[in-house]
Amino acid sequence: MAVGVFDSGLGGLTVHRAVSKRLPEVAFCYYGDNAHAPYGVRDAEDIFNLTCRGVERLWDEGCDLVILACNTASAAALKRMQERWIPKDKRVLGVFVPLIEALTERQWGDNSPPREVAVKHVALFATPATVASRAFQRELAYRAIGVDVEAQPCGGVVDAIEAGDEILAEALVKSHVEALKRRMPHPEAAILGCTHYPLMQDTFQQALGAEVKVYSQANLVAESLADYLARRPEFLGSGTVSKYLTTGDPASVSVHATQFLRQPIRFEAA
């Protein structure tokens, strides 16, 4: 029984770590498309094609269910994949749903009209492609009214993380937070809308201030996945082996993954 976790690079490891801890009996196969990272500066067609290629590779590993642990792929490719591409015996899920459920305090299946929620001023930090898609704002508007979302495209942060440059990543995060706060001085909540960003969560929190609630996706996705598999165990798949796959250089990717997660991780060539 195996579940696939897809990401453009290293960021999805934050989700992988959380789902592995929540579901220790499940084998997880991770696919990082490091050779083509970052996705956040690519156009929608390119993101769609690369995401489909990675998902198919995970299906080959016996993962009938794949989590797109990449906000850019979820924003730019998932809807099209679900409508036109995914066969009936497979499932591909994104990472927006659990986040919006938590922010609006309502379940995804709740189709009642949008209503007011407690949080009124939300800062969204995401890749340029995710910000441009407006996918988060669109999904949020289906469920909540009166929420002001200020989005900050965080150019360079994913590149710095993928390169293993923590000092540059920290500097860029602080710069992007300062830029957003010039437009929204007092956000009540902040969304880390890229699965790379939890690797820098302490830096985001320090720059934003202790009074701002920072929503990170990993644990929310883990709980949502556990609930999904309890209801749909048939999508656990035939795979039985946990592994890490990359389209990049396995040795280099392993070093950077180990550095950021502070635990030994060994990637294989995809």
Alpha-carbon distance of 22 to 20, in angstroms, equals: 5
Is there a binding annotation on residue 228? no
Tokens at residue 177, please? 């937070």
User: Measured between alpha carbons, how far is residue 171 from residues 38, 239, 257 in Å?
Assistant: 18, 41, 20
Among 29, 63, 154, 194, the one annotated catalytic: 194
70 among known catalytic residues: yes
Residues 222/21, Cβ–Cβ less than 8 Å: yes
3-state DSSP call for residue 94?
coil
Output phi, psi for 12, to 5 deg: -65, -10
Residues comprising the chain, all counted: 270
**Catalytic residue (choose from 29, 63, 70, 154):** 70
Please report the sign of the dihedral spanned by the C-alpha atoms of residue 214, residue 102, residue 86, residue 250.
positive
Q: How far apart are CA 53 and CA 46, in angstroms?
A: 11
Backbone angles phi, psi at 245, to 5 degrees: -115, 145
Residue 219 assigned as binding residue: no
The reply, when asked if residue 72 is annotated as ligand binding, is yes
Look up 154 and say whether it is catalytic. Answer: no
Q: Which residues of 144-180 are buried (b: 16+ CB within 10 A; e: fewer)?
A: beebebebbbbbbbbbbbbebeeeebbebbebbbeeb
**For residue 233, is the peptide bond before it cis, meaning its omega torsion is within 30 degrees of 0?**
no
| Alpha-carbon span 119 to 146, nearest angstrom | 9
Tokens 């609630």 belong to: 213
Q: 8 a known binding residue?
A: yes
Annotated binding-site residue? 14? no
* 34 annotated to bind ligand: no
Residues placed in the known binding site for substrate: 7-8, 39-40, 71-72, 195-196
The residues assigned a catalytic role are: 70, 194
Binding site residue list: 7-8, 39-40, 71-72, 195-196
